[in-house]
Amino acid sequence: MLAGLLVAPNAGAAPNFDGVWLVSSKVKQLKAEDGKSPPLNAQAAQAYAKNVAKWRAGDLSFDPTAKCVSPGIPRMLYLPYPFQILQSRTQITYLFEWNYWNRHVDMSGRKLEAAYPLSMGESLGHFEGNELVIESNGFRADNTYLDAAGMPHSEDLHVTERLRLMDGGAMLEDRIRIDDPATFTRPWETVVKFNRMRASYEIPMDICLDRTDSGKPAVDWSRNLAH
Amino acid sequence: MMGLRNFGGSHGWRLVATVTVLLLGSGARAEQVGRTFEGVWKLDPPRAAFKPKDLSEIPFTPEGRAAYEQNKLAAAKGDYSFDPTEMRCSSPGLPRLMLTPKLIMIFQRPHQVAMLFEWNRLLRQIITDDGPKLKNPMQEGMATGGGDVGTAKGMTTGHWEGQTLVAHSTKFSEQKLLDEFIPNSDALELTERIRLKDARTLEDRITIVDPEYFTRPWDTVLTYTRQSDKLYPFAEDVCLDRKKAGELPLPR
CATH number at residue A198: 2.40.128.20
A82 CB burial (10 A radius; 0-12, 13-18, 19+): buried
At B70 the three-state DSSP class reads helix
Predicted pLDDT at B130: 59
Distance of CA A154 to the CA centre of its chain: 17
Residue B126: partners with Cβ closer than 8 Å, 6 or more residues away: B112, B113, B114, B115, B156, B158, B165, B167
Which residues of chain B fall below pLDDT 50? 1-12, 17-33, 131-132, 134-146
d(CA A181, CA B7): 38
Q: Low-confidence residues of chain A, pLDDT below 70? A: 1-12
Residue A121: its pLDDT value, please? 93
Q: What does the pLDDT read at residue A46?
A: 98
* CB contact B61 to A (< 8 Å): no
Pairing of strands A122-128, A102-106: parallel
Q: Give the nearest partner residue to A204 out of B122, B127, B142, using CB atoms.
A: B142
In a domain, A218, yes or no: no
- For position B161, what pLDDT does the model report? 94
In A197-216, the residues whose Cβ lies within 8 Å of chain B are: 198-207, 210-211
CA dihedral (B12, B16, B17, B18) positive or negative:
positive
What are the start-end ranges of the E strands in chain B? 39-43, 104-109, 112-117, 123-127, 155-161, 164-170, 189-198, 201-209, 218-227
Give Cα A158 to chain centroid, integer Å.
13
Check: complex ipTM more than 0.90: no
On whether residue A15 sits in a domain, the answer given is yes
Tell me if A207 is assigned to some domain.
yes
Inside any domain, residue A202: yes
Which domain range does residue A25 map to? 2-213
Q: What's residue A201's pLDDT? A: 87
Q: Looking at the 3D structure of chain A, how many domains does it have? A: 1
Judge: A211–B112 Cβ closer than 8 Å, yes or no: no
**Is A156 a domain residue?**
yes
pLDDT of residue A113: 73
- Identity of the amino acid at B164: T
Are the beta carbons of A205 and B143 separated by less than 8 Å?
yes
Q: Which amino acid is at B94?
A: L
Q: Is residue A220 part of a domain?
A: no
In a domain, A221, yes or no: no
Distances from the Cα of B142 to the Cαs of A64, A217, B118, B147, in angstroms?
A: 22, 12, 24, 9
B107 touches chain A (CB under 8 A): yes
Contacts of A222 (CB under 8 A, 6+ apart): none
Determine the pLDDT at residue A12.
58
| pLDDT of res. B20 | 46
- By Cβ distance, the residue of A86, A199, A205 closest to B107 is A86
Task: Classify residue A62: in a domain, yes or no.
Answer: yes
